[in-house]
């Protein structure tokens, strides 16, 4: 039976919020400040997943040992600040030994399943340490292995969660724990039906938090990060970017999909399904407030935000015949579907199709989106051109195709930019430009100045 505890808050802390002992202590204070926070979802400490991804690529021994030393130092910098380091040091040593063994295996024969097993150790370590930080504040927190409830398919690196299984497993294994005490678990990681560890793609801890909030019918998800909310664009690119106090689910989801790293692209899907508000704030400065993402916002404005998605590949496919057959599009999309290539932006002219491919996996780079089997099958049907090193700049807003002024505003600003592709019309909420990556920040700055300041 699904029960509804309307006051559970799921709080997620990102990498910088658990980067070291001081950050963990601030995050612990935030957890303890609100008695409705019953479930804490943690990322790996900042930098740890990157190190694990490097180890998963199969490094030769001296580089491997070097990275493992760095990992050990990061963990022991936290452990050494605990009053009772021995309470957790053995468990962390055990995980560090596992990492060493798995990294050795990866150097021998790398597999996607092995990568996920290896990178999961970042969240396993941070969650063990955080439980100890809470215990030293006299709070009995239970460590919980997220893989018991986050059931996914076996697409290692960007696994797809099975919502009904997560609901059932959470009722069975998690609900009663959350009712009894504070529970600390890992973001990002899950397991397939055979029990193999999987991951949800880089930044996936946000998604874990909203999946568990959905399963527990929580009242709110709090995403604690290093910025005091969601801004009109990445404040690292534009210092004048302003915080948006309230955003609708669809606006925030659009931002996340098109590259606003502050939220994993899928985070808002579970929240939308169950109408659970999502708050985003800075764990180092909670009094600065943040952004509330909810179902409706009063009078959303035409221009809301700009986002950038990097590591984009443009795949251009042209019919060999001057007049393509009526089956041309079906054939091309059939091939892409057989090779499980997903694309979210496409333009089509009489004889050509241009598609944007996005690298989404936990350990994948731009090159991994295309493989030789796919390219040789495509080449037997059409001419294939590939462009890499691109970035997608997206303007997010409302009713964009219905406002002629939009084009005047934008094209004047982009006059000097070599735009490779424009996507507009299918969605009322975005207008996207593909550019060589080195032009992306300049375009964002120019558009922000014109439209959002």
Tell me which residues touch ligand ASP (CB under 6 A): 14-15, 43-44, 49, 122, 187-188, 202-205
Q: Does 203 bind ligand ADP (CB under 6 A)?
A: yes
In the complex with ligand ASP, which residue's Cβ is closer, 266 or 391? 266
Distance CA 70, CA 30 (A): 28
44 binds, among ligand ADP, ligand ASP, Mg ion, none (CB under 5 to 8 A by kind): ligand ASP
Task: Give least dist CB 104 to Mg ion, A.
Answer: 29
For residue 230, give both structure tokens: 């969601």
In the complex with ligand ADP, which residue's Cβ is closer, 16 or 170? 16
Residue in this structure with the two tokens 């396993």, named with its chain if needed: 124
Task: Give least dist CB 442 to ligand ASP, A.
Answer: 27
Q: Does 234 bind ligand ADP (CB under 6 A)?
A: yes
Q: Tell me the per-residue interface mask from 29 to 58 with ligand ADP, x by CB under 6 A, - otherwise.
A: --------------x---------------
In the complex with ligand ADP, which residue's Cβ is closer, 307 or 435? 307
Q: Residues near 143 by Cβ (< 8 Å), separated by ≥ 6?
A: 127, 128, 131, 184, 185
Residue in this structure with the two tokens 């975005």, named with its chain if needed: 430
Binding region for Mg ion (CB under 5 A) out of 96-104, 195-203, 267-275, 371-379 = 195-203
290 touches 279 (CB < 8 A) = yes
Distance CA 333, CA 343 (A): 10
Distance CA 364, CA 202 (A): 9
Burial class (CB in 10 A: 0-12, 13-18, 19+), 339: middle
Task: Give least dist CB 171 to ligand ADP, A.
Answer: 28
Quick one: how far is CA 409 from the chain centroid?
31
- Tell me the backbone φ, ψ of residue 138, rounded to 5 degrees: 65, 30
Task: Give least dist CB 374 to ligand ADP, A.
Answer: 30
Distance CA 444, CA 391 (A): 11
Using Cβ positions, the residue closest to ligand ADP within the complex turns out to be: 14
In the complex with ligand ADP, which residue's Cβ is closer, 13 or 144? 13
Strands (E), 344-410: 345-348, 352-358, 382-397
What H or E segment, with its residue span, contains residue 141? strand 141-144
In the complex with ligand ADP, which residue's Cβ is closer, 267 or 319? 267
Binding region for ligand ADP (CB under 6 A) out of 55-63, 133-141, 259-267, 410-418 = 259-267
309 touches 342 (CB < 8 A) = no
Q: Does 254 bind ligand ADP (CB under 6 A)?
A: no
Q: Does 187 bind ligand ADP (CB under 6 A)?
A: no
In the complex with ligand ASP, which residue's Cβ is closer, 43 or 319? 43
Give the β-pairing of 182-186 and 141-144.
parallel
In the complex with ligand ASP, which residue's Cβ is closer, 98 or 318? 98
**Of 246, 244, 161, 233, nearest to 204 (Cα)?**
161
Task: Give least dist CB 39 to ligand ADP, A.
Answer: 17
Q: Does 203 bind Mg ion (CB under 5 A)?
A: yes
In the complex with ligand ASP, which residue's Cβ is closer, 260 or 395? 260
**Of 357, 365, 359, 345, nearest to 386 (Cα)?**
357
Residues at the interface with ligand ADP (CB under 6 A) = 14-17, 43, 203, 225-227, 230-231, 233-236, 260-262, 305
């Amino acid at each position: 039976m699904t029960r509804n505890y309307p006051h559970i808050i799921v709080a997620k802390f990102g990498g910088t919020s658990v980067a070291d002992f001081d950050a963990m202590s601030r995050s612990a204070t935030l957890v303890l400040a609100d008695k409705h926070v019953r479930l804490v979802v943690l990322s790996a400490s900042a930098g740890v997943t990157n190190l694990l991804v490097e180890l998963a690529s199969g490094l030769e021994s001296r580089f491997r040992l070097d990275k493992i030393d760095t990992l050990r130092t990061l963990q022991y910098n936290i452990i050494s600040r605990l009053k009772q380091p021995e309470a957790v040091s053995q468990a962390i040593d055990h995980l560090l030994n596992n990492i060493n063994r798995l990294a050795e295996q990866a150097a021998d024969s790398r597999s996607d399943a092995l990568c996920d097993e290896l990178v999961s150790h970042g969240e396993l370590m941070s969650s063990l340490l955080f439980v100890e930080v809470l215990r030293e504040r006299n709070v009995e927190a239970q460590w919980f292995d997220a893989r018991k409830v986050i059931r996914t398919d076996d697409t290692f690196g960007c696994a797809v969660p099975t919502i009904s299984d997560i609901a059932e497993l959470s009722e069975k294994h998690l609900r009663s724990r959350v009712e009894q005490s504070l529970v600390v678990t890992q973001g990002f990681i899950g397991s397939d039906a055979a029990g193999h560890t999987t991951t949800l793609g880089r930044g996936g801890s946000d998604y874990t938090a909203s999946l568990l909030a959905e399963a527990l019918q929580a009242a709110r998800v709090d995403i604690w990060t290093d910025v005091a909310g969601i801004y009109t664009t990445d404040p690292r690119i534009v210092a004048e970017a302003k915080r948006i106090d309230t955003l609708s689910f669809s606006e925030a989801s659009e931002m996340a999909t098109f590259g606003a790293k502050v939220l994993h692209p899928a985070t808002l899907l579970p929240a939308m399904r169950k109408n659970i508000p999502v708050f985003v704030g800075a764990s180092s400065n909670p009094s600065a407030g943040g952004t509330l993402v909810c179902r409706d916002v009063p009078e959303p404005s035409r221009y809301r935000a700009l986002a950038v998605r990097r590591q984009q590949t443009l795949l251009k496919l042209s019919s060999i015949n001057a007049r393509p057959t009526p089956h041309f599009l079906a054939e091309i999309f059939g091939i892409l579907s057989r090779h499980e290539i997903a694309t979210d932006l496409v333009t089509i002219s009489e004889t050509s199709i241009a598609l944007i491919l996005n690298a989404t996996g936990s350990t994948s780079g731009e090159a991994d989106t295309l493989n030789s089997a796919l390219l040789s099958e495509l080449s037997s049907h059409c001419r294939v051109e590939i462009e890499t090193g691109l970035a997608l700049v997206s303007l997010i807003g409302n009713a964009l195709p219905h406002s002629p002024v939009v084009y005047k505003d934008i094209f004047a600003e982009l006059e000097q930019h070599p735009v490779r592709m424009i996507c507009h019309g299918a969605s009322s909420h975005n207008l996207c430009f593909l550019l060589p990556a080195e032009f992306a920040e300049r375009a964002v700055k120019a558009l922000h100045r014109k439209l959002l300041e």
